[in-house]
Structure 1
Amino acid sequence: SALIRLILGGELTEYTEMMGKARSTATRRMIAQAAEMKADAIINVRYMTTSVVGSAAELLGYGTAVKLSK
Structure 2
Amino acid sequence: MMIVTTEQVAGYEITEVKGYVKGSTIQTKHIGRDITAALKGIVGGEIKGYSDMMAEARKLAIHRMVEEAEAKGANAIVGMRLQSATLMSAAAEIIAYGTAVVIEAE
Structure 1 counterpart of 2:58, one-letter code: R
RMSD of aligned C-alpha atoms?
A: 1.7
Structure 1 counterpart of 2:73, one-letter code: K
C-alpha displacement of 1:31: 1.0
**Larger-gyration structure (1/2):** 2
Q: Distance in 2 between matches of 1:31 and 1:2?
A: 32
**SS at the partner of 1:47?**
strand
Normalized per residue, the structure richer in strand is 2
Aligned to 2:103: 68
Structure 2 unaligned runs (5+)?
1-35
Q: TM-score, normalised by structure 2?
A: 0.59
Structure 2 counterpart of 1:49, one-letter code: S
**SS at the partner of 1:52?**
strand
Q: Which structure would you say has the larger RCO, counting Cα contacts within 8 Å and 6 or more residues apart? A: 2
Residues 24-56 of structure 1 show CA distances to partners (whole Å, capped at 9, x for unaligned) of 111111111111111120011111111111132
Aligned to 2:41: 6
Normalized per residue, the structure richer in helix is 1
Aligned to 1:59: 94
Q: Distance in 1 between matches of 2:41 and 2:70?
A: 40
Structure 1 unaligned runs (5+)?
none
C-alpha displacement of 1:68: 2.5
Q: Distance in 1 between matches of 2:82 and 2:42?
A: 26
Give aligned-pair identity as a percent. 37
C-alpha displacement of 1:7: 4.5
Q: Distance in 2 between matches of 1:13 and 1:66?
A: 36
Q: TM-score, normalised by structure 1?
A: 0.84
User: 33-42 or 5-14, which moves further after superposition?
Assistant: 5-14
